[in-house]
Amino acid sequence: MYLRSEEKWTPLHTRFVAHRIGDGTVNVHGYPVWDNKDITKFLQLAKQLKIKLWKPVISDDYGTYKVALPKEPFFELARICRADGTRLIHDTAYLLRNLRKLPRAHRLQVLAALIFDDGSCANWMMVAFEDQKRAVVMEAYRLWKDLFGSNTAKIMTRKTKMGTMMYRISVNRDGIIKLYEELKESIREHGDLAGLWRKQKALEARYRKATSPKALKMQERKLMEHMWRTKILNIAKKRGFIRPAKIYKITGREVNTTLRIIAPLLASKQLFFVKAGNRTRYSTNPVDSSIESRQRLIISFLKREGRINNRQARKLLGLGIERTLVILKKLVSSGELAQIKPNGANQLTFYALRRG
């Protein structure tokens, strides 16, 4: 923490400088410029902080305003953070890295600036920040993690119609709740200028949905499903496998629902499905359950041992009597194995490699 005078440099001063990151550029004279269609709150912010601005100009046909910013706040921040003032103006990743040195109230205002400029609260999974510069988004993500933890947001990518790769920080339900509640405290302390401005209502709508009875029920279901997956995986790791019947007993749900619950374990390759008739199971190790693979296992066994009976084959393949017989009969029909029939009533039928 590098602040020497918190009375002089407030979280709202940090907010003012942080707007350079999202919708900011640098003009030909080396001054930072902020571009946005809605500049009302930003102008109010500058007025409250007694920061003089040049008159905003309309920069395009869509009504976007350009607001040139003075350099002094950036050099003051440089003094506080012991950084290079000129680089703070030109390098947004470097600016973000230094803003992360400030106290929590200041970092929250940096995040609010990012969301207002390049974020969205319109969808269920809100976007905290989006940019084509991966280094900048990663710094923003570290800022988010500092404030709310890594389990509340994740980095995602998308391609624009022009083929440009965009990186975004997508926020989940827990992140929305934490952000709203902390911003609410910040607004109570610093006024409306500490909020998301015109996007504050959208965040409030997301918060209401995230804390609704339906959302709470969905969250409870997610936690229960996570608990079931953990239990299923622990049993499988202990024994090397787990039977479908055991999984259904743990979840107490229908087949289709249970399959959806364990799907993440299969997708992440923590469990592998082994189709083996009445011995079908989910294994912790990948198993080739094709007929060809099982035939190769039998032939390899015969090359070592010379002969095999049905009981040995069942143990080798992990299958029941009928399924094992099908595989052995196929090998006999193809001419690879010869069947050695028993001489007496109590003797077992054996199979051996056909010679010549």
Q: Write the pLDDT tens digit of every residue in 154-184.
A: 999 999 888 899 999 999 999 999 999 999 9
Helices 104-118, 134-148: crossing angle, 10 deg rounding? 130
C-alpha span between 252 and 247 (Å, rounded): 8
Cβ count near 274 (within 10 Å)? 18
The pLDDT of residue 4 is 46
C-alpha span between 179 and 223 (Å, rounded): 21
- Please state which of the ranges 7-16, 118-127, 247-256, 314-323 shows the lowest mean pLDDT: 314-323
Q: Are 198 and 38 in contact (CB under 8 A)?
A: yes
User: What strand order describes the sheet that includes 153-159?
Assistant: 126-131, 165-171, 153-159
The CATH homologous superfamily of the domain defined by 11-209: Homing endonucleases (3.10.28.10)
The beta strand positions in the chain, using DSSP E, are 24-26, 32-36, 57-58, 65-68, 126-131, 153-159, 165-171, 241-242, 272-274, 281-283, 307-309, 337-340, 350-353
DSSP letter string, 44-60: HHHHHTT---PPPEE-S
- Please state which of the ranges 60-69, 86-95, 101-110, 341-350 shows the lowest mean pLDDT: 341-350
3-state secondary structure of 213: helix
Question: If you average pLDDT over residues 188-196, what whole number do you get?
Answer: 96
Taking alpha carbons only, the member of 328, 294, 288, 290 closest to residue 309 is: 328
What end-to-end distance do the CA atoms of the chain give, in Å? Answer: 84
3-state secondary structure of 156: strand
C-alpha span between 164 and 156 (Å, rounded): 14
What are the two backbone dihedrals, phi and then psi, of residue 284, each rounded to the nearest 5 degrees?
-85, -10
pLDDT at residue 233 is higher than 80: yes
The pLDDT of residue 1 is 39
C-alpha span between 142 and 150 (Å, rounded): 9
Q: Are 181 and 203 in contact (CB under 8 A)?
A: no
For residue 198, give the DSSP letter: G
DSSP letter string, 27-91: -TTS-EEEEES--HHHHHHHHHTT---PPPEE-STT--EEEE--SHHHHHHHHHHT--HHHHHH-
Same fold, 11-209 and 216-283: no
212: left (phi over 0), alpha (psi -120 to 50) or beta: beta
**Which comes out higher in pLDDT, residue 355 or 11?**
11
pLDDT tens sequence across 320-342: 888 888 888 888 888 889 888 87
- Please state which of the ranges 115-119, 179-183, 245-249, 338-342 shows the lowest mean pLDDT: 338-342
Q: Is residue 6 very low, low, confident or very high in pLDDT (cuts 50, 70, 90)?
A: very low
Q: Are 18 and 114 in contact (CB under 8 A)?
A: yes
Question: If you average pLDDT over residues 248-256, what whole number do you get?
Answer: 90
What are the extents of the domains in the chain?
A: 11-209, 216-283, 291-353
Which of 59-73, 178-192, 332-346 has maximum average pLDDT?
178-192
- Please state which of the ranges 66-70, 191-195, 274-278, 320-324 shows the lowest mean pLDDT: 274-278
Note the pTM of the prediction, 2 decimals.
0.68
CA angle 77, 149, 221 (to 5 degrees): 150
Question: If you average pLDDT over residues 217-233, what whole number do you get?
Answer: 89
Q: Are 146 and 153 in contact (CB under 8 A)?
A: no
pLDDT at residue 3 is higher than 60: no
Residues of the chain by 3-state class (helix, strand, coil), percent to 5: 55, 15, 30
Size of the chain in residues: 356
Question: If you average pLDDT over residues 75-100, what whole number do you get?
Answer: 96
CATH topology of domain 291-353: Arc Repressor Mutant, subunit A (1.10.10)
Cβ count near 163 (within 10 Å)? 6
User: What strand order describes the sheet that includes 307-309?
Assistant: 307-309, 350-353, 337-340
CATH topology of domain 216-283: Arc Repressor Mutant, subunit A (1.10.10)
Residue 307: which residues within 8 A CB-CB, separation 6 or more?
Answer: 340, 350, 351, 352
